[in-house]
Amino acid sequence: MNNKLWSVLSLLAVVALLGACAQPAPPAAPPAAAPTTAPAAGGCKDADRVPISWSTIAGFYTDAMTSIVKDFESKNCVKVTIVGIDNAQLYDKQIIEAVGKTGAYDVYNIETAEKAGFAENGYILPMDDYIKANADKVKYDDIAPVLADVTTKYKGKIWGLPYYTYTQGQFFRQDLFDDPTEQAAFKAKYGYDLKPPTTWDQMTNVAEFFTRKKGAMLKGQPLDKDFYGVGLMAGRFQEIQDELSGMILYKGTDWLKDDGSIAVKDEGNLWALKFYVEKLLPYAPPAALTVTYDGVMNQMQDCQIAMTANFFLDQWPNAANTENKCPGSKMGIGVGIEKTTYLGAFLMGVSSSSKHPKEAMDFVAYMAGQEAQTNFARQGGSTTRISVLKDPQFNTPESRPKTAHFAYLLQVFDNMKDKKSNLFYSPYGAKLYNAMGPIYHTAAAKEVTPEQAVQTLYDEFVKICGGEKCTVNK
Amino acid sequence: MESAATKNPGPATKARRTMSDTWYSILLIAPAMVIILFFALVPLFYAIDVSFRQADLTMGGIQGFVGLRNYREVLHEAYFWQSVRTTVVFTFFAIVIEMGLGIFVAFLIHGATVGKGLIRSLVILPLATAPAVTGLFWRYLYDTQFGLYNYFLSVLGLPWQPNWLGDIKLGLWSVIIFDVWLWMPFVALIALAGLQSLPKEPFEAAELDGASSFRVLRTLTFPMLTPVLMLVFILRTIDCLRLYDSVATLTRGGPGSVTETLTYYLYRQGLVFFRMDYASTMALLFMYAVILASGYALRPLLARLAMRAGQR
């Protein structure tokens, strides 16, 4: 045969070989339930290390964890590959790998609303046996109980361990509330003392009060740009739902009732959206319609807003940085309006397609464990462990820029112990959660009325759940 | 005189001795066909299959045959039609502006006496970066707090501070402006290449006959440029119809849902809600529409090319 023919056939052979290489991995072995003793990694050669991978959010969350992962590697004969993925793509990417059973990720990073779907579909392994066998190492009871419940439990089983909470509270410019001129002006206008708002009516009053045009006075000084009462996450992201969450739960309702029936257009849900659109948005910067939490933090640091609505407390290091960037500012923290806020944490769950589930569980237990969480907290991470939240080293003036929110997290967990949304126990939770943001945003952008938006949301819920009731498994 | 090729037959000639021309041709295109088969046709047929099934990846995966149910549901979906409308409106305005401005710029460059090369290089700059990257830059340019556009407006003393990406009346126009900035140079460059390749003789004859500039444009330049302009029109139309990256980076379909194009909606259905059945159905409907539209638009061009080929 001539040379050309050989080259053509060789090319075909390469293509066939590439196809053959893409064979699916063999099924994973079941996890061991026996107590695990970390092998001494000192004598472990790199070639002997068990490889596992962790898909997680690119950015701060992962950067802070890198050194802790190295600690784990130094104590275990395991090599961890951290796969940092943009938050907006993380769920999609993980689901694709989970459905394909590729085993690409041994440990998933799972949002609270996604947990039930991952568990229901068998994408992650239950960790009950592991936790029972390693009770001293895991110290499950040390995780804030309400957080442990909403983030790890489904159908009576434990599906992983949480390592980072984004539970909400509130941030405000304490210096504005402390200013005598502002206090007097507020009292004259509204008839009561100026203080960080604790009710929604106070919230709208304070937001209105501080909304001022360029040139107006604030703390006795003329403003060089427009100033707004409240920063909102009203962009076309999921976080608008998180902002509305506390308002909906405060009204004693939820997106799904206990029996699974869809409540998104009931009185409480409609009140929340109407209040948000009519009583809060007018006092937010125009950019509110395009931003999420990072945008609100930018507005705060740029001296544009007086406070947030209910907002992720894990953002405290960014909020505290306002004091460095906005001259004369002093930041304060609250437990959230009406003491009712969004609650959640990132769960580390072990993939059912993992080739090394035991090592993956060891890794999860380590990362969510007390030692790692203490290190994580030192770097500004929002821990899920009560003992770390209460640790005196995180309640000092020196630690304030990173951990002043810990004391408030403890209060929020206590306030929220009986207010757990049914959304977190529905296998449709992730889809419902993903559907909410864009639809609520249409009302915020005034493309539709709040009434139309909740009707659209109801129809979308019916479509996703396949009827007027969604499965809820507490 | 014998040619060198006849004296020393190369490997190609040797190959033809061992197999027919037909088989040799098939063999040559086989690698390309294998790739096309795997990466284009197999997914296409798979998508057709999925469009007739219940396929929610997070709820049971790909399941049984459901006939035309997905097509019926998609065609009754208000959001689907809204995204179609958004796509058509975007395509219409983006194409009109890009073609108009692009041709205008091409004539300007063609007529320039100095710095033609530099201008051409500057014009091509927007095309040198991925739309996803430039989209992120533009997001900051449009920003109401820190954006340059609103800053320039205030420097000019204009009281208007538009919320480019947050106002439902402006959102789509902001994406159109970005698309025009990004792709107008492409139209300009192709039109310029067309202009520069036109034969000089007809224009010299027209000049001798005293034809006005407008008449030269109407009867010579544009008719001779039509095949090139038609091609760029079709390429840009197809590109606009499948607009995704600009929307994903600039607006994520907002404000409200005014910039949610068909492909962005399709992405949400497929990769956020994992309804592969709906996504496949929409993708196929979209593909049929594009094939029909481009086939219709290409017909005069193909007819003209066929006529030219016949004349030869």
Give the model confidence (pLDDT) of A423-460 as tens digits: 999 999 999 999 999 999 999 999 999 999 999 999 99
What is the 3-class SS of A53-118, one letter each residue?
EEEEECCHHHHHHHHHHHHHHHHCCEEEEEEEECHHHHHHHHHHHHHCCCCCCCEEEECHHHHHHH
Token output for B267: 């992405």
Greatest Cα-to-Cα distance within chain B, rounded to the nearest angstrom: 83
For A68, the token pair is 């802790």
Q: Tell me the nearest-neighbour CA distance from A231 into chain B, angstroms.
A: 13
Contacts of B143 in chain A (CB under 8 A): 287, 290
A92 contact residues in B (CB cutoff 8 A): 271-272
Query: Which residue shows structure tokens 């960790």?
Result: A127
Mean pLDDT on A358-366: 98
Could you say which of A95, A304, A434 has the minimum Cβ distance to residue B145?
A304
For residue A363, is pLDDT > 50? yes
Residues of chain B with CATH 1.10.3720.10: 73-311
A9-57: pLDDT as tens digits: 344 444 333 333 333 343 344 444 455 544 555 678 888 999 999 999 9
Q: What architecture does CATH give domain A46-144+154-159+346-403?
A: 3-Layer(aba) Sandwich (3.40)
ipTM, two decimals: 0.85
What is the token pair recorded at A218?
Answer: 């604030």
Instruction: Characterize the bridge pairing of strands A168-173 and A311-312.
Output: antiparallel
**Looking at the partner chain, which of A3, A99, A235 has a beta carbon nearest the beta carbon of B254?**
A235
Domain A168-343+419-465: assigned CATH number? 3.40.190.10
Verify whether the Cβ–Cβ distance A299 to B272 is below 8 Å. Answer: no
User: Looking at the partner chain, which of A4, A92, A237 has a beta carbon nearest the beta carbon of B271?
Assistant: A92
Residue A39 has a pLDDT of: 52
Of B23, B24, B59, B276, which to mutate for an interface test with A (greatest number of A Cβ within 10 Å)?
B59
| A7 CB within 8 Å of a chain B CB | no
Which two three-digit tokens encode residue A434?
A: 């993903």
> Which residue of B30, B144, B258 is in closest CB contact with A447?
B258
What pLDDT does residue B291 have?
87
Q: Chain B residues contacting A, CB < 8 Å?
A: 11-12, 14-15, 18, 27-28, 30-31, 34-35, 38, 57-59, 61, 143-146, 161, 163, 165-168, 251-258, 268, 271-274
pLDDT digits (tens, 9 = 90+) for B73-90: 999 999 999 999 999 999
Which DSSP category does B253 fall into?
Answer: T
Cβ contact, residue pair B253, A3, below 8 Å? no
**Chain B residues within 8 A of A299 when measuring between CB atoms:** 145
Hey, which CATH number is domain B73-311, 1.10.3720.10, 3.30.360.10, 2.40.50.100, 1.10.1740.10? 1.10.3720.10
* Rounded distance between C-alpha atoms, residue A405 and residue B299, angstroms: 67
Mean of the per-residue pLDDT values for chain A?
91
Q: Comparing A46-144+154-159+346-403 with A168-343+419-465, is the CATH topology the same?
A: yes
Structural domain boundaries in chain A: 46-144+154-159+346-403, 168-343+419-465
Count interface pairs A-B at CB distance under 8 A: 112
CA-closest candidate to residue A54, choices A289, A368, A363: A363
A196: pLDDT strictly greater than 60: yes
pTM equals 0.88
Nearest chain B Cα distance for residue A135, angstroms: 32
Question: Closest partner residue to B257 among A237, A304, A447, by Cβ?
Answer: A447
Looking at residue A402, its pLDDT comes to: 96
**pLDDT at residue A474, as a whole number:** 84
Chain A residues lying within 8 Å of B132, measured CB to CB: none
CB contact under 8 A, A236 and B255: yes
- In degrees, to the nearest 5, what angle opens at C-alpha A136 toward C-alphas A131 and A137? 70
Residue B265 contacts residue A457 (beta carbons within 8 Å): no
A88: closest chain B residue by CA: B272
Which residues, given as ranges, of chain B have pLDDT below 70?
Answer: 1-17, 311-312
Q: Is the peptide bond before B131 cis (omega within 30 degrees of 0)?
A: no
Residues of B in contact with A91 (CB under 8 A): 272
Average pLDDT over residues A186-214: 98
CA distance B63 to B278: 13
